Every structure is written in C-alpha cells, then in structure tokens.
Structure 1
Amino acid sequence: MKEEDVYSELSAIRNLMERSAKFISLSGLSGILAGTYALAGGWLAYRLVYRESGGIQVREYYLSDPLLWKQLALIAAGVLALSLATGVWLSVRKARKQQEDCWNAGSKRLLASLTVPLLSGGLFILIMLLRGQYGIIVPACLLFYGLALVSGSQYTFSDVKWLGFCEIFLGLLAALVPGYGLIFWITGFGLLHIIYGIVMHFKYDR
C-alpha cells in the first residue's frame, strides 16, 4: 500500500471517529435566524420599556414593575422557543442531506453537557425574578449561556467555544456596568449570534 493511501485511510478513519463522537450538524443559518429573532425581541422590549420616554436612558432607568418584567420574560421565552425550534429543524435537515443520524452519540453528549449550566442558570434566574433582583437577570442569562456553550463545545465545532467566551465576557461586563441590560442582551443574543452564524455558514455549510 502506498504512503498516500495510508494517509488517506487514516484520514477517513479519523473523520469517521470525529463524526461519531461529535455533533457536526449545526447549521450556520440557525445562528443567523436566532440572532434575528433576538433583535426582533429586543425591539419589542425597547418599545415596552421606553414607550413613555424619549430614548434609552441608560444607568438612570431601572425597572421595578413586576408586570413589565413578566412581559419581558415572555418575549425572551418566545425568542428562545423560536431559536430552539429553528435550530432543531435546520440541524435535522442538514443531517439528512449528509445522510447522517441527527440523534447520535455526539448529539446526546452535547445535550448532556448543555443541560447542567442551562438548567441551573434558568432556575437561578427564576429565583432572582421572584426575589425582585431584576438587575442580575441579563448578566446571568449571558453568563450561564456562555458557560453552557463552552461546556458543550467539546462535542461539536470548536467555534462554539469562542462564542461562549464572548457571551461570558459580555455577561461580566453587564454585571459591572448596570443599567445597560437591554443593550447587552441585544448584543449577546442578537449581533453575536448573527456574526457566529455567518462564520459557520461560510466555514462549514457551503
């Protein structure tokens, strides 16, 4: 057997092992659409929060209305539901095109690694909402989401890890600079997802 054939065989075996161990059906388009949903949700939140003012009065505008926070939570839940549904649909479609099983060992490991930080983060945020600690909500969303991405990146594309680090950085910055929650939320879940989705599309989907 020629040396080129040996390298080719080894490359094919490594490819097969990577496909079985990692979830590689993530679609860049799902990131773009998730970011778009977040921008739309951010616009709705802006209309709710600043409907009686002339613009974004950062640092001086703190929310203490429980009803308003319930409305904002519904918007966030809607963005999350749309993003998850779109991500699952596009991942299944991509897996079928590649003639692969979307629900494999890699996707199961990815889901397991995402569950702990996302579930604990969701419960923490719910507790903060019930206690009226509204200023912690946006930083916590970004931080726990970033931690989940970094945790899950070992079972999918490594690019996910860098998105996670960016989300963590934004979460810490949002905690350091209170009063800018809406801007950080739009940046983290909107703009960063769109940038990530574009990179993923041109890197893996073309």
Structure 2
Amino acid sequence: MKFANLIFLFNFEKQSTFKMTTSEEQLNALKDIRQMMDRSTRFISLSGLSGVFAGGIALIGAYFANQEIEKFIGKRGYAYGVQGEIDLEFNLIKLGLIVLFVALAGGVLFSYRKSQQDNLPIWDKTSKALFVNLMTPLIAGGLFIIALLINHPNTYSIIAPTCLIFYGLALINASKFTFSDIRYLGYLEVILGVICMFYAGYDLWFWAFGFGVLHIIYGLVMYFKYERGE
C-alpha cells in the first residue's frame, strides 16, 4: 500500500512539473510573440535619456531667452521702438531654432545608440510612420505661429501656449507608433498650454516647465521603466 502511494506521489509530482514547465514555455513563447509584435508596430528605440537631454537644453534656452528679454526691457544693446522689438523677436527665434536643433540632434543620437544596443533598425516603416504623425501637427503649428508673427505682431503672449498645445497634439498623434506613455506627456503639454493662455506674462515660465521640466521627468520615468534593467 505504501509502495502504491509512493508511485502515485511520484507520478503526481512528475505531471505537475511537466505542467509547470509547459506553462512556463507557453508564457515565454507568448512573451516573445508580444515583443516581436511590438517591434513591428512600435518604435521602441526611443530613449528616455533623449527626453532628459531635450529638457535640459530647453531649460538652458529658457534662461538665455529670459536674459534677452531683460536686456530688451533695460534697453541694454537694444534699440528703442519698433526696431528693438524686431531685434528681440529675431534673437528669440534664432535661440529657439538653436535649442530645437540641439535637442533633436541629442534625441537622434540617444535613440540611435539604443537601437544599436537592441539590434534594431532606427529607420524603418514604423519610425517613418512615427515621424510623419509627429511632424504633421508640428509643421501645422509652426506655420500657424509664423502667420501670427507676420499678420498679428502684437500677439506674442499666445506663441508659447500655441507651441505647447501643438507639441502636445503631435505627441498624442504619434503615441500609437511608440511607447504609449508618451501620450500622457502630450496630454500634460496640451493642458499646460491651455492654462498658459489665461496667464499672460508668464509664458516663458510655462514654456520652460513644459519643454524643460516635464521632459526631464518623462525621460527619467521612461529610462527607469524600459532601459534601466536592460
């Protein structure tokens, strides 16, 4: 009787071990399939460090923009009247383009490095779709801002919120081709832009918080969530 019980227990443990092994293999297979699907439909080489870098560059740009505005108010190196306003506008646009170029260059560099680590192409069908969906609202917003500057030169106070809103819409639009977390950053940018519309005179602070602080927080969250354990 005892011998029969031992055989039963042995067979039970063997079957249980087999079932556990089979279940683990199935879970691993499903995990591999999911990763393959993610790689084919989403751009997963977007690095969180690129967000931190872009946020840092944005804060540096906001600092120099504030310096230019203070110089203009004190007329240190700026002409009086309309010419001074034109010079300030030109300097701010030039500074903004420099910040944009450096931030984009850093983002591409960090994402390229991550794609090499993951052994994935950085420019494929998915990254092209991401680029198109991201740039469409950005280009529309850029043209809208240029039209404002040309036809309504006294509407400087809504340029910063317009940047935030269109940028947020671009992130939301592109989120379906990369990590879904980026959608929440887009929502925050849009909300911040709408709030900024009602607080004229604080637009640079909102701009710095949206493009600087939020980017750094988002980048750190993405890094520790997706890259730290790699």
Q: Which runs of 5+ in 1 are unaligned?
A: 55-63
- Partner residue in 1 for 2:206: 184
2:186 corresponds, among 147, 159, 164, to: 164
1:143 corresponds, among 147, 165, 173, to: 165
CA distance in 1, matches of 2:198, 2:191: 11
Q: Secondary structure at the match of 1:65?
A: helix
State how 1:88-99 maps to structure 2 within 5 Å.
Answer: 88-99=108-119
1:21 corresponds, among 28, 41, 55, to: 41
Q: Secondary structure at the match of 2:197?
A: helix
> How much has 1:3 moved relative to structure 2?
3.1
**Structure with larger RCO (C-alpha < 8 A, sep 6+):** 1
Q: Which residue type is aligned with residue 138 of structure 2?
A: L
Name which one, 1 or 2, has greater alpha-carbon Rg.
2
Q: Deviations over 1:105-149 (max 9, x none)?
A: 221111111121011001001111112121221011000000000
Q: Which residue type is aligned with residue 164 of structure 1?
A: G
Work out whether residues 61 and 96 of structure 2, in 8 Å CA contact, stay in contact via their aligned partners in 1.
Answer: yes
CA distance in 2, matches of 1:37, 1:194: 10
> How much has 1:52 moved relative to structure 2?
6.3
CA distance in 2, matches of 1:100, 1:82: 24
Q: Deviations over 1:36-67 (max 9, x none)?
A: 1111111101111113669xxxxxxxxx8122
> How much has 1:7 moved relative to structure 2?
2.5
Give me the CA root mean square deviation.
1.6
Q: Secondary structure at the match of 2:71?
A: coil
Say if 2:52 is the partner of 1:32.
yes
CA distance in 2, matches of 1:168, 1:39: 19
Work out whether residues 72 and 88 of structure 2, in 8 Å CA contact, stay in contact via their aligned partners in 1.
Answer: no
- Partner residue in 1 for 2:131: 111
Q: Which residue type is aligned with residue 115 of structure 1?
A: M
Q: Secondary structure at the match of 1:102?
A: coil
CA distance in 2, matches of 1:147, 1:52: 32
Q: Which residue type is aligned with residue 2 of structure 1?
A: T
CA distance in 1, matches of 2:23, 2:50: 41
Q: Which runs of 5+ in 2 are unaligned?
A: 1-20, 75-83
Work out whether residues 22 and 155 of structure 1, in 8 Å CA contact, stay in contact via their aligned partners in 2.
Answer: yes
CA distance in 2, matches of 1:189, 1:176: 19
Give aligned-pair identity as a percent.
Answer: 45
TM-score, normalised to structure 2's length? 0.82
Say if 2:156 is the partner of 1:123.
no
Structure 1 runs (4+) deviating above 2 angstroms are 1-4, 51-54
- Partner residue in 2 for 1:195: 217
> How much has 1:4 moved relative to structure 2?
2.7
Q: Deviations over 1:74-105 (max 9, x none)?
A: 11111100011111111111101111111122
Q: Which residue type is aligned with residue 111 of structure 2?
A: S
